[in-house]
């Protein structure tokens, strides 16, 4: 088996408690098959995600970072996802700007009823990350 086939991308997924997190749950209880590469981290709202979380995830060795929240207009806190949309746009531009592959960061809107969409988002993300190989640009070097 070649090394490329051994490689499984590690995704850190920041999921909104009110929608995407429940969406991932629905994907689970509906027994939808999707790759197990994502480590979910539930946050109260996408608006609560500091860009530092994303940089930190890459710094600790994530191959891809997913931010998923409620559709525009559906935020439990009325405007959290609008604020997230702005911040995530900026951090995405910055990551791209310094020469990291744009496919390593992704944002999606997944509601609590969209289990199938959640599975699709993860599947697509893993497919896109697979050819990029391990992320070592922002990753902290191993201690010797």
Partner 1 sequence: MINVQDIRDTARDMLTKGEVRAVIGYRRGSRGMLAEPAFITDPAQAGDLVWDPTCFHNLSLYLVEDRKFLTHVRKTANAPIAIVAKGCDARSIVVLLQEHYFKREDVYIIGVSCEGAGVVDERKLAPHLNGFQATNAAFDGDDFVFTTAEGEKCLPAREVMADRCLECRIPFPKEHNIVFGEDKTGRQLAEPFAALTRFETQGTAERWDFWSHHFDRCIRCFACRSVCPMCYCDECVVDSITFPVTTETTAEDKANRIRWIERSAVRSENITYLMTRAMHLAGRCTDCGECERACPVNVPIRLLNNKMEREAREQFGFEPGASIGGPSLVASFLDNDPGQFIR
Residues within the interface to partner 1 (CB under 8 A) = 51-52, 55-56, 59, 72, 79, 82-83, 85-102, 106-109, 121, 124, 137-141
Shortest distance, position 92 Cβ to partner 1, whole Å: 6
Shortest distance, position 31 Cβ to partner 1, whole Å: 23
Shortest distance, position 138 Cβ to partner 1, whole Å: 6
Based on CB atoms, which residue is closest to partner 1, 6 or 143?
A: 143
87, 105 contact by CB (below 8 A): no
Cα dihedral 15, 20, 25, 30 sign: negative
Based on CB atoms, which residue is closest to partner 1, 22 or 49?
A: 49
Based on CB atoms, which residue is closest to partner 1, 42 or 51?
A: 51
Based on CB atoms, which residue is closest to partner 1, 120 or 130?
A: 120
Q: Of all helices (H) and strands (E), which one includes residue 13?
A: strand 11-16
Which of helix, strand or coil describes residue 17?
coil
Q: Which residues contact 56 (CB under 8 A, 6 or more apart)?
A: none
Single out the residue of 42, 30, 37, 29 nearest to residue 10, CA to CA. 37
Shortest distance, position 1 Cβ to partner 1, whole Å: 29
68, 109 contact by CB (below 8 A): yes
């Amino acid at each position: 088996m070649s090394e490329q086939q051994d490689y499984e991308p590690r995704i850190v997924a920041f999921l909104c408690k009110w929608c995407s997190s429940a969406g991932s749950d629905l994907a689970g209880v509906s027994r939808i098959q999707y790759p197990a590469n994502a480590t979910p981290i539930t946050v109260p709202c996408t608006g609560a995600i500091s860009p530092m979380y994303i940089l930190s995830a890459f710094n600790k060795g994530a191959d891809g970072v997913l931010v998923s929240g409620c559709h525009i207009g559906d935020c439990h806190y009325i405007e959290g996802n609008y604020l997230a949309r702005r911040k995530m746009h900026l951090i995405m531009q910055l990551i791209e700007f310094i020469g990291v592959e744009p496919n390593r960061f992704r944002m999606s809107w997944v509601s609590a009823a969209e289990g199938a969409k959640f599975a699709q988002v993860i599947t697509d993300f893993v497919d896109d990350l697979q050819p990029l190989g391990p992320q070592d640009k922002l990753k902290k070097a191993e201690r010797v």
